[in-house]
């Protein structure tokens, strides 16, 4: 999403702050200059009061905006993926790191966990061992896993040489962000994980780092071999 700050409370205090207004100077009948000074001071005081009113109005708007921000419902998760976009997914053929390509149609017919990631994305790297564990433990349920790297061939190859995983990886480059948006990732952030059922329909989506219990819950308890 970090997507992960909200406005501070300083907005609210601004609308209640007062600014002292200088009292007008009393002019003596014997001193015309004092009367002129008093009139000028009163004018300045009026101007300052008008300024305070304007500042107070701005602060009130800011305070109302802050109140709305705090009272708003929690932001929605990823938006729904249009079925035509999901159908088009199965027609893709993506290159594999080091050569060759993967036809997503070869994965159709079984539940599939798609994980959009990149080597330059720390939360993506942190969750990969959990996704690798999911691929091992839920294979008995017929689940397949595919990592789609929003990255280039060389950095992905180097990363996988140091951190191998047991599930296939395909390369989408930065066009992978557009692909993830079509599947409901409105913000275009990473990581983004999608679970498709055996019929090829989007069943679950999550933007951000996943927990193992979360994706395991999507799939149900693995059967005993």
pLDDT digits (tens, 9 = 90+) for 86-136: 889 999 999 999 999 999 999 999 999 999 999 999 999 999 999 999 999
**Cross-strand partners of 115:** 147, 193
Sketch the domain layout of the chain as residue ranges.
10-71, 83-219
The beta-strand segments (E) located in the chain are 93-95, 101-103, 112-117, 144-149, 169-171, 192-196, 202-207
Task: Give the strand pairing for 93-95 and 101-103.
Answer: antiparallel
In this prediction the pTM is: 0.64
**CA gap 198, 201 in Å, rounded:** 7
pLDDT digits (tens, 9 = 90+) for 148-185: 999 999 999 999 999 999 999 999 999 999 999 999 99
Report the CATH number of the 83-219 domain. 3.40.30.10
């Amino acid at each position: 999403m970090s997507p992960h700050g909200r406005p501070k409370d300083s907005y609210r205090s601004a609308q209640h702050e007062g600014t002292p207004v200088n009292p007008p100077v009393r002019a003596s009948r014997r001193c015309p200059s004092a009367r002129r000074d008093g009139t000028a001071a009163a004018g300045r005081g009026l101007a300052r009061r008008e300024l305070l009113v304007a500042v107070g109005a701005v602060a009130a708007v800011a305070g109302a905006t802050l109140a709305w921000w705090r009272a708003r419902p929690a932001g929605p998760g990823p938006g729904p993926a249009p079925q035509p976009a999901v159908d088009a997914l199965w027609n893709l053929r993506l290159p594999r790191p080091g050569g060759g390509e993967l036809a997503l149609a070869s994965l159709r017919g079984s539940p599939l966990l798609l994980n959009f990631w990149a080597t330059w994305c720390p939360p993506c790297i942190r969750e990969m061992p959990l996704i690798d564990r999911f691929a091992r433990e839920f294979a008995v349920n017929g689940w397949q896993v595919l990592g789609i790297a929003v990255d280039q061939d060389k950095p992905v190859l180097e990363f996988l040489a140091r951190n191998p995983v047991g599930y296939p990886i395909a390369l989408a480059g930065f066009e992978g962000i557009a692909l993830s948006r079509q599947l409901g990732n409105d913000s275009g952030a990473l990581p983004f994980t999608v679970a498709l059922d055996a019929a090829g329909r989007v069943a679950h989506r999550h933007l951000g780092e996943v927990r193992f219990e979360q994706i395991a819950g999507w799939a149900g308890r693995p059967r005993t071999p």
